[in-house]
């Protein structure tokens, strides 16, 4: 008996964390310091999983909410299971988790599927608006 592969329906979660769809920076354990901690602008970092539907939804909400702040903030993603040093350092226990960074420090966080309102509030706080 052969087990058939199931194809995702609609936009699906496949590719949820790709740069092509979201224009966000892929961040690894090796690049985290330069991309986030030493960034001259505030950074939103999504710790998630390629296969997580909640991560897909969160990235969509962030992209939609952050459009008006282009150039003022950076959006990054960390594939949590592949970057365990950073995931453990920031004590990520659930995905998705969004951390808001300014001047190399965590200024806020949201765990679970994020709403646009939460993203906008976090961005405004980062930018002191």
Each residue's pLDDT tens digit, 31-53: 999 999 999 999 999 999 989 99
pLDDT of residue 21: 42
On whether residue 14 sits in a domain, the answer given is no
**Host domain of residue 34:** 19-127
Residue 1 included in any domain = no
**9 domain-assigned:** no
Task: Pick 3 or 42 by higher pLDDT.
Answer: 42
Q: Over the stretch 64-113, which tens digit does the pLDDT of each residue have? A: 877 888 888 999 999 999 999 999 999 999 999 999 999 999 999 999 98
Could you tell me how far CA 73 lies from the centroid of its own chain? 13
Contact 64/49 with Cβ under 8 angstroms?
no
Q: Specify if 10 maps to a domain.
A: no
pLDDT for 11:
41
Residue 17's pLDDT is what? 41
Helix-then-strand count for the chain, H and E = 5, 5
Q: What is the mean pLDDT of residues 15-28?
A: 62
- 3-state percent breakdown (helix, strand, coil) of the chain, nearest 5: 35, 25, 40
- Our count of domains for the chain comes to 1
How many C-beta atoms lie closer than 10 Å to residue 129's C-beta?
Answer: 9
Residue 109: CATH number of its domain? 3.40.30.10
In sequence order, what are the residues at sequence separation of 6 or more whose Cβ sits closer than 8 angstroms to the Cβ of residue 121? none
Residue 4 resides in a domain:
no
Confidence of residue 20 (pLDDT cuts 50, 70, 90): very low
- For residue 77, which of 15, 115, 37, 24 has the smallest C-alpha distance? 24
Residue 2 lies in a domain: no
Q: Is the pLDDT of residue 27 over 60?
A: yes
């Amino acid at each position: 008996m052969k087990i058939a592969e199931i194809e995702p329906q609609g936009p699906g979660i496949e590719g949820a964390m790709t740069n092509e769809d979201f224009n966000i920076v892929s961040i690894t354990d090796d690049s985290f310091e330069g991309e986030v901690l030493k960034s001259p602008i505030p950074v939103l970092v999504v710790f998630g999983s390629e296969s997580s539907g909640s991560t897909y939804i969160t990235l969509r909400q962030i992209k939609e909410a952050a459009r008006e702040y282009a150039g003022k903030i950076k959006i990054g993603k960390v594939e949590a299971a592949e970057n365990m040093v950073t995931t453990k350092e920031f004590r990520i226990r659930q995905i998705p988790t969004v951390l808001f960074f300014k001047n190399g420090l965590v200024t806020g966080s949201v765990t679970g599927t994020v709403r646009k309102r939460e993203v906008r509030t976090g961005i405004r706080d980062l930018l002191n608006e």
